[in-house]
Structure 1
């Protein structure tokens, strides 16, 4: 049973969405304040997020951007501000779809089903062959074997796995991994990458997954 996280500060509207989704065979969780969303997602599994744009605390745009820093869970933005639609679907935010208020609950259910069909297993298997990242359990499987990673190593791998083949500079990795803006040297990133590579090589010595690009940075390469 797919689980939908409903992020909506209008209690009656959230309850209405809940009722229709449950009737259609979904499990749901409701959150009514923007500041509660990230802590919940970092501790629980969701198959899709219905994310309202206007929320108390963190707004929907900020939450969408921050969720994408650690998760590929499908996100449907809900908005009454039509002028924001282009931004909602922009690559810098990564929303999968949007719904404009006012809407019918049946439309919500239809959109949820469409997005889930379009993005099967998006959260646990981000398109990588032989490599599975389970965000909810903070677990990595490679060729059927579990790899134990530190929190920093897991975050590094998650970022690299979002765009296999894309080269990330050391500074880009620092900016994405260390959200508290602490001072971190590029050598620290090199050390984490070295340990991550060693753990991968222990499982699959014939394939170099985490590759260095001289003078540029690092990338994740998957078997063709």
Structure 2
């Protein structure tokens, strides 16, 4: 699944995508950014971390062990880990990352996962678990997202959630409310109205501070799903 919300650097800076789906983006000259995208049957998640600059304003020095820890945080191998140090300033990059654009054709091309009435499927990866249910009796989709314990171990503060953006049959609908909450929070919401046969795409964006083996920075998690509502 190709997400519509590609991180800031993808929309505003040069980007490099490897065959394994790891994206390297440009960040502020004094910082390094690492990004990786993972897909399941029903979701695609992009996780980005931008390390803080040193007190002198330069990028943090990374040992081999540091790179292994960052790769582990992103759920990639160290050989897939690539960084960049120039381009869009961090604040602007984050603002760009939060911009929502209509889902691209590539997302629809893969085809949606089927969401049956009153069934409760879930899709998990190393970043978290998305669950969804089509409540055909009330014409709604109820969704929930839980950040994984693996990711929570590195989070040092509260999580700022933008609030789910969604499309029904390619038409933009009002966003769900955002939250600023603890990292163990079970994010959830309702999409309505949704009827049998509707094609629904929805996505969310979260940011939080992290400490990865002593290296501090700001991480952004974006997940997306594409489903077909069926009785």
Give 1 or 2: higher strand fraction: 2
Give 1 or 2: higher helix fraction: 1
Larger radius of gyration: 1
Which category describes the TM-score, using the shorter chain as reference length?
under 0.3
TM-score (norm 2): 0.26
TM-score (norm 1): 0.27
Higher relative contact order (CA 8 A, sep 6+): 2
